[in-house]
Amino acid sequence: MKEKKVPVFVCVICSLLASVLFLGIGYFKGLSASGGQTFYATIADLGDSYMTVRGIEENDINFRGDFRLSVDEDTEIMWRHTDIGLEDLEPGDRISVTFKGGVEETSPAGLEDVTQILLLEDEL
């Protein structure tokens, strides 16, 4: 009688562990696929590899201030599903900014790992 209980118990434990493993993998894949946080802003200043932006009023209160962000070769800059360069942007343009990571508590706030900037203007 004890011999039957051990295999059933082992099967139940293995099934539970497999379920937890697959749920954990799905959760972390969902986090990486989410692409981070996005907010809308107006460009205040541009440099060779950075920009300063001001979040618009429609954003959550945490993204209505001034932000400084670095733009590197991994940052995707697009307009209407077309790649553009940092030189195609100018102060006053409305953009969306997607980033991963934290927000540095400086003035202006610094953003880590900016992954995408989308130009929201009608014309380039």
Q: What is the pLDDT of residues 91-104, one digit of tens each?
A: 999 999 999 998 99
How many structural domains are present in the chain? 2
Length, in residues, of the chain: 124
Sheet containing 94-99, strands listed edge to edge, beginning at the edge strand earlier in sequence: 82-83, 76-79, 114-119, 94-99, 37-46, 50-55, 66-70, 109-111, 103-104
- The answer on 44 and 15 residing in a single domain is no
Domain, as residue range, for 78:
37-119
Give phi and psi for 5, each to the nearest 5.
Answer: -70, -35
| Structure tokens that stand for 62 in this block | 């945490």
Q: Distance (Å, rounded) from C-alpha 96 to C-alpha 78?
A: 10
Is 85 inside any structural domain? yes
Same domain, residue pair 43 and 89: yes
Mean of the per-residue pLDDT values for the chain?
83
Task: Name the DSSP class of 91.
Answer: T
Q: Are residues 30 and 83 in the same domain?
A: no
What's the angle, vertex CA 114, arms to CA 109 and CA 116, rounded to 5?
A: 130
Q: Identify the pLDDT of residue 124.
A: 79
Supply the DSSP string of 25-88, one letter for each residue.
HHHHHHHHHT--EEEEEEEEEE-SSEEEEEE-TTS-GGGSSEEEEE--TT-EEEETTEE--GGG
Residue type, 2: K
pLDDT value for 31: 44
Return the pLDDT at 3.
Answer: 55
Same domain, 74 and 51: yes
pLDDT < 50 stretches in the chain: 20-21, 23-33
CATH of the domain at 56: 2.40.50.140
65 and 92 housed in the same domain? yes
